[in-house]
């Protein structure tokens, strides 16, 4: 179950909530797909950053480590999802500690610091939605969850920016500059620091394996949409975000 909420678009960063500039994407629907350095700049990151890695089999919130960690989870923390088995996304990206991370969501409390916890996320078929944490856990059976606190962000503004996109369609083509949004793109375009500057830049999109060969899966996928593979286009991916130097892993909790 996903809740829908419309944020205050007046605080969105430049280029945010850009539905009015949507390009022609066609009506084709992508085949079912899994959802698509660490060196620290200084000791200040050891003090000001937090990354909790929670390895667990997904289960309802009241019986999970999420309930135990509730007081340590903050507005705007990032929730990365690592699958037990690799897929077409993780074959061409790299997650923290070698995890097969193929999804990222934003943690958001409705009603203040003690309100219920939701995942603000962009997912296939539904687009940008607010998903109760227990529903996300039930959906991601067998996954490993990496919870990251990001250093130096304006959490309230960043989350408000992302809420502005609720209801936008999912970007199954992973293209920049249109009205559709994919999971890590939601984070990349919405997160700002306390001075209002973007926290995460784009990187060249990669659809190739370690040998440099574009995977047959992606070649066929884009060919079916009448497109060439957007190799090198500006973009982002959840694995790359999980390895960002503003995040520090400090603990594993395993069930």
In the predicted model, what is the mean pLDDT of residues 153-169? Answer: 97
CA–CA distance from 82 to each of 47, 131, 226 (Å)?
26, 18, 31
Q: What is the pLDDT of residue 59?
A: 38
The whole-angstrom separation of Cα 194 and Cα 158 is: 10
CA end-to-end span of the chain? 25
Distance CA 17, CA 8 (A): 10
Q: What are φ and ψ of residue 142, in 5° steps?
A: 80, 0
Q: What's domain 39-200+237-254's architecture?
A: Alpha-Beta Complex (3.90)
Q: Coil, strand or helix: which one is 118?
A: strand
Confidence bin at 249 (pLDDT 50/70/90): low
Residue 204 has pLDDT above 90, yes or no: yes
Give the highest mean pLDDT range of 91-100, 136-145, 213-222: 213-222
DSSP state of 30: P
* Distance, CA of 122 to CA of 236 (rounded, Å): 14
- Taking CA atoms, 224 is separated from 11, 143, 209, 255, in Å, by 38, 30, 21, 42
Q: Report whether pLDDT(221) > 70.
A: yes
CA 210 from chain centre, in angstroms, equals: 23
pLDDT at 123: 97
Query: Which of 18-22, 135-139, 210-214 has the lowest average pLDDT?
Result: 18-22
Q: Which pLDDT belongs to residue 179?
A: 86
The yes-or-no verdict on residue 254 having pLDDT over 80 is no
Would you place residue 53 in the very low, low, confident or very high pLDDT band (cuts 50, 70, 90)?
Answer: very low
- pTM for the model stands at 0.76
d(CA 158, CA 53): 22
The answer on pLDDT for 150 being more than 80 is yes
Average pLDDT for the chain: 77
- Of 188 and 51, the one with more pLDDT: 188
Q: What pLDDT does 219 receive?
A: 96
Asked if 145 and 54 touch (Cβ cutoff 8 Å), the reply is yes
Mean pLDDT along residues 158-185? 95
As given in the structure block, the two tokens for residue 208 are: 């190739």
CB 238 within 8 A of CB 41: no
- Mean pLDDT value across residues 49-61: 39
Task: Categorize the per-residue pLDDT at 228 as very low, low, confident or very high, splitting at 50, 70 and 90.
Answer: very high
pLDDT for residue 154: 96
- Residue 156 is predicted with a pLDDT of 96
* Neighbour tally for 204: CB within 10 Å: 10
- pLDDT greater than 80 at residue 5: no
Cα–Cα distances (Å) from 73 to 56, 99, 146, 156, in that order, read 16, 21, 12, 14
Per DSSP, the three-state class of 239 is: helix
Choose between 101 and 253: higher pLDDT. Answer: 101
- CA 241, distance to chain mean position in Å, is 8
Looking at residue 111, what is its pLDDT? 87
């Amino acid at each position: 179950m996903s809740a829908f909420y419309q944020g205050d678009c007046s605080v969105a960063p430049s280029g945010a909530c850009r539905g009015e500039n949507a390009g022609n994407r066609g009506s084709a629907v992508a085949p079912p797909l899994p959802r698509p350095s660490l060196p620290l700049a200084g000791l200040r990151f050891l003090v000001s950053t937090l990354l909790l890695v929670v390895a667990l089999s997904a289960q309802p919130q009241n019986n999970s480590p999420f309930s135990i960690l509730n007081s340590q989870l903050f507005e705007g923390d990032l929730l990365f999802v690592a699958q037990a088995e690799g897929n077409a996304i993780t074959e061409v990206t790299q997650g923290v500690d070698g995890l097969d991370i193929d999804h990222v969501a934003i943690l958001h409390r409705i009603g203040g610091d003690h309100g219920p916890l939701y995942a603000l996320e962009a997912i296939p078929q539904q687009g940008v939605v607010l998903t109760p944490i227990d529903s996300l856990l039930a959906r991601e059976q067998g996954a490993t969850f990496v919870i990251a606190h990001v250093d130096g962000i304006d959490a309230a503004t960043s989350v408000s920016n992302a809420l502005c996109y609720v209801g936008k369609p999912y970007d199954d083509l992973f293209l920049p500059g249109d009205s559709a949004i994919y999971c890590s793109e939601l984070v990349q375009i919405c997160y700002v620091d306390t001075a209002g500057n973007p926290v995460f830049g784009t990187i060249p999109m990669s659809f190739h394996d370690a040998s440099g060969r574009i995977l047959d899966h992606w070649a066929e996928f884009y060919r079916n949409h009448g497109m060439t593979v957007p190799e090198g286009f500006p973009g982002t991916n959840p694995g790359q975000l999980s390895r960002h130097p503003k995040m520090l892993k400090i603990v594993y909790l395993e069930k």
